[in-house]
Structure 1
Amino acid sequence: MVKVNQSPIGRIVPRHAESRLVEALSDTRVVLVNGARQAGKSTLVAQVARDRDMAWYSFDSPDTLNGARRDPVEFVNLAPRMVIDEVQRNPEVLLPIKELVDREFVPGRFLLTGSARVLGLQNLPDTLVGRMETITLWPLSQGEIDDAPDGFVDAILDPDTEIRHDSDLARRDYVERVVRGGFPEAVAREGRRRRSFHDAYVADLINRDVVQLSEIQHGREMRRLLNLVAARSGQLLQPAKLAALLQISRSTVEHYLALMEEVFLIRQIPAWARNTTTRTVRTPKVALVDSGVAAAVLRQNPDALARQDGELGGLLEGFVAMELARQLTWSESGAEMYHYRTKDNVEVDIVLETPAFEIVGIEIKATSTPRAEDFRGLRHLQERTGDDFLGGYLLHTGPRTISFGPKLRAVPISALWETAAPGA
């Protein structure tokens, strides 16, 4: 029997990913819900599986895990439809799953969850290419927490939609959201208890999941690297410089960074370039997946961040970038997220590009009074992309939407989660 566990915040939060999951189960033999630990994967899967008469098996249970290891072929035949929770603990079951679904084409035969990028695990016996759909579940978005539309991405990528948004949120309100982050346990706590959760989360992730992916003997080095990466949220990711600061090899830094991505601790944002003849910088930027974790790693005090001279910029940019990344997972646009920077230091924090090569640029500023000069990078991008440029938005902490010329607007950050998608 599938049981839905009680949410830490006292209510089951509807997830935007649920409709995608239901759709995938209707025509795909194996569906994987992948994402950060404690993001709510098991709760989401339990809700969906409960109405589909699916048997539940979790590899967090030692007995279940040992049984699956002893005879994985027998294990995958235990029920006509199965949920396997935390499948990354025993990837040996994936090959028997492949053999079974190749014999029997049954949509929704297996529903898997994983807390690491399963197809990147070492010693994986085979893949499920063409047989499996992967749905990534991030920590809660602001719209999911507030029961708000979360339709900003689709709205700005629709040429017929005009963004007009006013907000009553002030800098302090945004600081509270950044420090809170999106993990349900953190949303349910405040102050010191919230920081205790974030500290324990990082420690467990490095000591448990990272060790599972790769034998790491110097966990302290990885923690120091995480501190450096968090301090560079929104900046270029340069492994050679990080290696010099830590006095370790560049290859070790690159290995650690890859592991951090595997366990959904960080996300790299690739550079955008339309062709190879420009003076575009090709180095990716980096953000921590959860802004609350980033703030805790940096030991940032909310009172200090709320001051006008507080070091909010990098954390706020990472917060916005990951809200956009979340929305892209349920957006109808098919857009991808990049950043843009030239060798002359003209930059745009976020660039969204659709499959039709339409472009939207987004700048993030921890200011309530946007200025014309803040649009330098967006104007450059507009000139370069011409008719493909759908719009440029400067997201700020002030109360109103302000026009700064054709297709250029300063918009309060809360528009991210309070804007409805076209037709919603």
Structure 2
Amino acid sequence: MADWNESDYRRRVVDDELDFLLGALPAVSLEGPRAVGKTWTAQRRARTVYNLDDPATLALIQANPDRLTQGEEPIFIDEWQRYPPAWDLVRRAVDTRSTPGRFLLAGSTAPATPPTHSGAGRIVTLRMRPLSIYERQIEVPSVSLQELLDGGRPPLSGHTDVALERYADEVCTGGFPGWRSADPKVQRAVFGGYLDRAVDHDVALMGHRARQPSVVRRWLTAYAAATSTTATYETIRDAATSGQGDKPAKSTTIAYRDLLEAMWLVTPVQAWWSAGNPLSRLKRGPKHHLADPALAARLLDVTAGDLLSAAPATVGAFHPGPLLGALFESLVTLSIEVYGQAAGARVSHLRTWNDTREVDLIVQGHQRMLAMEIKLVSTPTRRDTRHLRWIAEQMDPEVVDTVIVTTGQHAYRDQDGIAVVPAALLGP
């Protein structure tokens, strides 16, 4: 294996999770979209690497499958879905010897042929996402999501010079590590190629050769337009099939949603629900997001300048307000999912059946809840925090803190005790 220069590696929040799991378990599978950094992260720990995206390596393994579990450990199997039997080979090897830290796997899509066994109890999966705001190192955070979730409503402080223009840039630059330093025009070309590869190449690898790439791209674009909304399936279907007289049945087209989720390109935030909760008639539908808001911006053909223009971009019925607000929420949601995973918390959203009340994110772990709103404002008003006050009243004492994430400069608590935190100052 090649030598790695530690100074070139930007440590991720997930690194601590991975180190812990590898020290306790025999096999860990990193899951997430292409180019998110799975390979680089795993290779730093591996002693033997099998890259199944390489035709020569794949041919050797197909000729002698047992080779895949041989070598100095940890053994890293990259793009394992290119040879689906790899999963079962690792599972059987773990059954034989369950010493911690034996195998690392990474995959960017679901395999065309699922493994014969789920791997439950043998192979633990770990989600890897694009870089959070904290991991992009644009600011030193002063507020910890973990400390907020611990309760006690700690006092807040901190100042940042990160302004709206920088957030718009971050939306379009994205959190894929290898592309962040490229010129914006180059980034647009790279994102275009990334999306082309996804719909032209990866779909076929998953065994969906009958799918037309143009149709898959239209569905992906419809989900991009619905970013940060709870748009119904029918609304998204209508956007994806615009111009078609007879709309396809849900049973016919639901496969497109499942396909995009299996590719880690569509990453919905599920609705919050808990048995015995005092709230009734909550919506069960997800809030829509792509893996990275930069992909949504590219699909919708907008730049940071477009998002900041005097006539800001909108996307029809999906977004009556500026598109930047939806994409900023998606950027913050991505970040909070990274921090929440590290804290062992589940991230969801809450919306009442009649849309009169909504909370952008509920972060729940260890019997504690954070209620969070995300607003494209520098100084929030009491109107901006009204849903946070409502949920705190309804769910006391489960809600240990309420937070509004903004584009402002200062972290503080407002007159109601709500944590006001600029996005750049929030970390794990």
Per the TM superposition, whether the score is higher than 0.5 is yes
Q: Which residue pairs with 2:131 in the alignment?
A: 140
Query: Per the alignment, do residues 360 and 308 of structure 1 end up closer, same or farther by CA in structure 2, a change over 3 Å counting?
Result: farther
Letter in 2 for 1:218: Q
Q: Whole-Å Cα distance in 2 between the matches of residues 86 and 149 of structure 1?
A: 34
Q: Which residue pairs with 1:222 in the alignment?
A: 216
1:34 aligns with 2:27: no
State the Cα deviation string for residues 357-387 of structure 1 (Å, max 9, x = none): x221111111223111111211111111011
Say which of 68, 85, 91 aligns to 2:84.
91
Residue 44 of structure 2: SS of its match in structure 1? helix
Say which of 144, 152, 164 aligns to 2:157.
164
1:302 aligns with 2:304: yes
Letter in 2 for 1:407: G
Alignment: residue pair count = 406
Say which of 358, 362, 385 aligns to 1:347.
358
Letter in 2 for 1:183: F
Say which of 107, 113, 118 aligns to 1:114.
107
Structure 1 residue 237 displacement after superposition: 4.1
State the Cα deviation string for residues 119-155 of structure 1 (Å, max 9, x = none): xx53322232111122222112222221766663213
Q: Which residue pairs with 2:286 in the alignment?
A: 284
Structure 1 residue 13 displacement after superposition: 1.0
Q: Whole-Å Cα distance in 1 between the matches of residues 352 and 94 of structure 2?
A: 48
Residue 348 of structure 2: SS of its match in structure 1? strand
1:152 aligns with 2:144: yes
Q: Which residue pairs with 2:16 in the alignment?
A: 19
Letter in 2 for 1:236: T
150-159 vs 221-230, greater mean Cα deviation: 150-159
* Unpaired stretches in structure 1, ≥5 consecutive residues: none
Structure 1 residue 244 displacement after superposition: 3.1
State the Cα deviation string for residues 17-52 of structure 1 (Å, max 9, x = none): 222222222221212122211111111111112xxx
244-253 vs 391-400, greater mean Cα deviation: 244-253
Contact 1:69 1:92 in 2 (8 A): no
Contact 1:236 1:283 in 2 (8 A): yes
Say which of 200, 205, 210 aligns to 2:203.
210
Contact 1:2 1:55 in 2 (8 A): no
Contact 1:280 1:343 in 2 (8 A): yes
Contact 2:272 2:350 in 1 (8 A): yes
Contact 1:60 1:85 in 2 (8 A): yes
Q: Which residue pairs with 1:262 in the alignment?
A: 262
Query: Per the alignment, do residues 134 and 376 of structure 1 end up closer, same or farther by CA in structure 2, a change over 3 Å counting?
Result: same
Contact 1:32 1:134 in 2 (8 A): yes
Q: Whole-Å Cα distance in 1 between the matches of residues 167 and 301 of structure 2?
A: 17
Q: Whole-Å Cα distance in 2 between the matches of residues 179 and 338 of structure 1?
A: 24
Counterparts in 2 of 1:6-85, with a 5 A limit? 11-49=8-46, 54-77=47-70, 81-85=74-78
Identity value in percent: 26
Query: Per the alignment, do residues 104 and 400 of structure 1 end up closer, same or farther by CA in structure 2, a change over 3 Å counting?
Result: closer
Structure 1 residue 318 displacement after superposition: 0.7
Counterparts in 2 of 1:356-367, with a 5 A limit? 356=367, 358-367=368-377
Query: Per the alignment, do residues 387 and 72 of structure 1 end up closer, same or farther by CA in structure 2, a change over 3 Å counting?
Result: same
Q: Whole-Å Cα distance in 2 between the matches of residues 107 and 212 of structure 1?
A: 31
Query: Per the alignment, do residues 77 and 339 of structure 1 end up closer, same or farther by CA in structure 2, a change over 3 Å counting?
Result: same
Residue 57 of structure 1: SS of its match in structure 2? strand
Letter in 2 for 1:209: D
State the Cα deviation string for residues 140-187 of structure 1 (Å, max 9, x = none): 222222176666321321223233232212211111111111012331
Contact 1:34 1:114 in 2 (8 A): yes
Residue 150 of structure 2: SS of its match in structure 1? coil
Q: TM-score, normalised by structure 2?
A: 0.88
Counterparts in 2 of 1:335-414, with a 5 A limit? 335-345=345-355, 346-356=357-367, 358-414=368-424
- Over the aligned positions, Cα root-mean-square deviation in angstroms equals 2.3
1:321 aligns with 2:333: yes
Q: Which residue pairs with 1:124 in the alignment?
A: 115
Letter in 2 for 1:280: L
Letter in 1 for 2:339: Q
Q: Whole-Å Cα distance in 2 between the matches of residues 75 and 214 of structure 1?
A: 23
Structure 1 residue 235 displacement after superposition: 0.5
* Unpaired stretches in structure 2, ≥5 consecutive residues: 242-246, 313-321
Query: Per the alignment, do residues 303 and 148 of structure 1 end up closer, same or farther by CA in structure 2, a change over 3 Å counting?
Result: closer
Contact 1:288 1:294 in 2 (8 A): yes
Structure 1 residue 306 displacement after superposition: 2.0
Contact 2:28 2:126 in 1 (8 A): yes
Q: TM-score, normalised by structure 1?
A: 0.89
Q: Whole-Å Cα distance in 1 between the matches of residues 222 and 185 of structure 2?
A: 23
Q: Whole-Å Cα distance in 2 between the matches of residues 204 and 103 of structure 1?
A: 38
Query: Per the alignment, do residues 212 and 149 of structure 1 end up closer, same or farther by CA in structure 2, a change over 3 Å counting?
Result: farther
Q: Which residue pairs with 2:244 in the alignment?
A: none
Query: Per the alignment, do residues 405 and 88 of structure 1 end up closer, same or farther by CA in structure 2, a change over 3 Å counting?
Result: same
Query: Per the alignment, do residues 402 and 96 of structure 1 end up closer, same or farther by CA in structure 2, a change over 3 Å counting?
Result: closer
Contact 1:328 1:335 in 2 (8 A): yes
Q: Whole-Å Cα distance in 2 between the matches of residues 403 and 308 of structure 1?
A: 32
Letter in 1 for 2:22: L
Query: Per the alignment, do residues 377 and 65 of structure 1 end up closer, same or farther by CA in structure 2, a change over 3 Å counting?
Result: same
Say which of 237, 241, 250 aligns to 2:235.
241
Contact 1:399 1:412 in 2 (8 A): yes
Residue 9 of structure 2: SS of its match in structure 1? coil
Contact 2:268 2:288 in 1 (8 A): yes
Query: Per the alignment, do residues 107 and 309 of structure 1 end up closer, same or farther by CA in structure 2, a change over 3 Å counting?
Result: same
Contact 1:29 1:108 in 2 (8 A): yes
Q: Which residue pairs with 2:191 in the alignment?
A: 198
Q: Whole-Å Cα distance in 1 between the matches of residues 388 and 40 of structure 2?
A: 41
